[in-house]
Amino acid sequence: MNHDAVEVRLMKRVQNGSYYFSVLVPSKVKPRLFKQGIVEFERRDQAQVVGALAGALAEELCDQYNDKLDPSSCAHSAMDAYVELMAENPSIMFGDELPRATDKFIDAATGVARNR
């Protein structure tokens, strides 16, 4: 049973066309609060990396705000959202990924998957 609305977005940088994943984990005790992290897009399956990030973000919310999130559930939600997102975007091209210093040149999301 999963009630954690973890959101995984695929983002594209305008300057160089590289991609990254934005992972958002909402707090249950502070409804307008989200923890966010990013994972650079690579040529391999990154479901576990995205899931680990979501779990870590959930743990931070629990530690900082006594949130009632289950980090394992959040990790599974993020992995499911990642798989769904990649299935909806099979033609993503792999490019030369640049360091995060290029984050100021972010384009709008090219895809969003939310595990409900």
Which tens digits make up the pLDDT trace of 40-91? Answer: 988 788 999 999 999 999 999 999 999 999 999 999 999 999 998 888 877 6
Contact 53, 7 (CB under 8 A): no
Is residue 47, in this structure, part of any structural domain at all?
Answer: yes
Q: With respect to residue 23, please indicate whether it lies within any of the assigned structural domains.
A: yes
| Residue 1 placed within a domain | no
Structural domain of residue 67, as residue ranges?
Answer: 7-114
pTM: 0.75
When divided into structural domains, the chain yields a total of 1
User: Looking at beta carbons, which pairs linking 109-113 to residues 24 or more positions away fall under 8 Å?
Assistant: 109/9, 109/10, 109/11, 109/22, 110/10, 110/11, 110/12, 110/19, 111/9, 111/10, 111/85, 112/7, 112/8, 112/9, 112/10, 112/85, 113/7, 113/8, 113/9, 113/81, 113/82, 113/84, 113/85, 113/88
Residue 2 lies in a domain: no
What average pLDDT does the chain have? Answer: 80
